[in-house]
Chain A
């Protein structure tokens, strides 16, 4: 049977009071018991950003550690912990909201989204043609037929007059050569 919240509160309180008196074993037990509760608490509330849960958990444990002198025995330890966890979570969300506001330039109008897409794709196609033209035929043709036009290796072999293994090797070496060309261009 799981312990009731009251029993858990009483147990955590006892460990916390011992920890405040400098009992390292009690303090370790306190933090270990606390960890799964905090993890579950943050997981429930940060469902769309699971990557932040563990960071936030660690941040909160450090906060608990640094402010353990502010726990008053007349206060429920659960309320104290909840206030710290909530504070740290709100702080994180606020900081991220601030950062994301920086990523998203507000002065750029929304039409930029539509005007950008087409020219960018067209430029990419043009760049690819230019680079492809610099490859030897035995690499350029296999890439054009297989990777761009979407033919099978057998069809490409028939059209180019190369053997199937030669087409495969041509695609492979050609892509490598293209990658090298792109790197050099940068």
Chain B
């Protein structure tokens, strides 16, 4: 086919497109991913029995806010990575800020704690299960975020895959925090973050192959 014929054929197919499609698609994927992560959590782990019975400690809300803020920044960042030539820019700072706040809280808590209480604050009683469970719960959200990304046009595939993975990890952490009994900032700052890094690293690893277009 000659190039001018191709141009004519493409121009004939000029239907209106939705400029907000990247964000909309990513929001849809995040909604589906969060719902599936919550369903998995309820089916496999069950909610925290304290939930709704007692007043939740402030650290419970910190946990929710941390995961929610990373997820929100992840949606923005992923939508941006789906646009050719766009930079992460502010979205990277937005995603980094919750980590900075959490680690600051963890540092303050460790400094305030008596030396013999520091290790228990970091390790809690569920450190072995936490990262594995978050990684597990992130599977449906990971698939949803990659699906959304595939409908866009990422040009930096490794970074796009990593951002999609981080979004999935944050959604999984959000669902997992409704099960998790741990209420210390050092625990969350280490094990939650590790769990979220699993899908992030996986996304960076398979992004170049899965997101090609």
Chain B, residue nearest A78 (CB)? B85
A22 touches B85 (CB 8 A): no
Interface SS of B by simple majority: loop
| Whole-angstrom CA separation of A71 from B127 in the bound complex | 44
A186 at the interface (CB under 8 A from B): no
Supposing A20-B16, A83-B155 touch, asked if A28 and B11 sit within 8 A by C-beta, the answer is: yes
A63 touches B153 (CB 8 A): yes
B55 at the interface (CB under 8 A from A): no
| Whole-angstrom CA separation of A114 from B14 in the bound complex | 58
| Whole-angstrom CA separation of A57 from B14 in the bound complex | 19
Distance (Å) between the CB of A54 and the closest chain B CB? Answer: 6
B213 touches A63 (CB 8 A): yes
Residue from the list A20, A70, A73 in contact with B84, Cβ < 8 A: A70
Supposing A31-B11, A32-B7, A35-B7 touch, asked if A80 and B84 sit within 8 A by C-beta, the answer is: yes
Chain A, residue nearest B85 (CB)? A83
Number of interface residues of B (CB under 8 A): 28
Supposing A27-B11, A27-B14, A84-B84 touch, asked if A70 and B3 sit within 8 A by C-beta, the answer is: no
B152 at the interface (CB under 8 A from A): yes
Chain A, residue nearest B12 (CB)? A24
Would you list which residues of chain A between 21 and 77 have a CB under 8 Å from chain B?
A: 21-25, 27-28, 31-32, 35, 54, 57-58, 61-63, 65-73, 75
Distance (Å) between the CB of B52 and the closest chain A CB? Answer: 42
B153 touches A22 (CB 8 A): no
Interface centre among A19, A58, A72, A86 (most CB of B within 10 A): A72
Number of interface residues of A (CB under 8 A): 36
B83 at the interface (CB under 8 A from A): yes
B19 touches A72 (CB 8 A): yes
A72 touches B86 (CB 8 A): yes
A79 at the interface (CB under 8 A from B): yes
B83 touches A24 (CB 8 A): no
| Whole-angstrom CA separation of A82 from B15 in the bound complex | 23
Supposing A31-B7, A61-B3 touch, asked if A70 and B14 sit within 8 A by C-beta, the answer is: no
Distance (Å) between the CB of A94 and the closest chain B CB? Answer: 10
Chain A, residue nearest B80 (CB)? A72
A91 at the interface (CB under 8 A from B): yes
Hey, what's the 0/1 contact readout for B15-34 against A, CB within 8 Å counting as 1?
11111011000000000000
A69 touches B1 (CB 8 A): no
| Whole-angstrom CA separation of A23 from B17 in the bound complex | 11
A72 touches B12 (CB 8 A): no
Q: Which residues of B contact A (CB under 8 A)?
A: 1, 3-4, 6-8, 10-19, 21-22, 82-86, 152-153, 155, 212-213
Interface pairs A-B: 3 shortest CB-CB = A83-B85, A28-B11, A22-B16
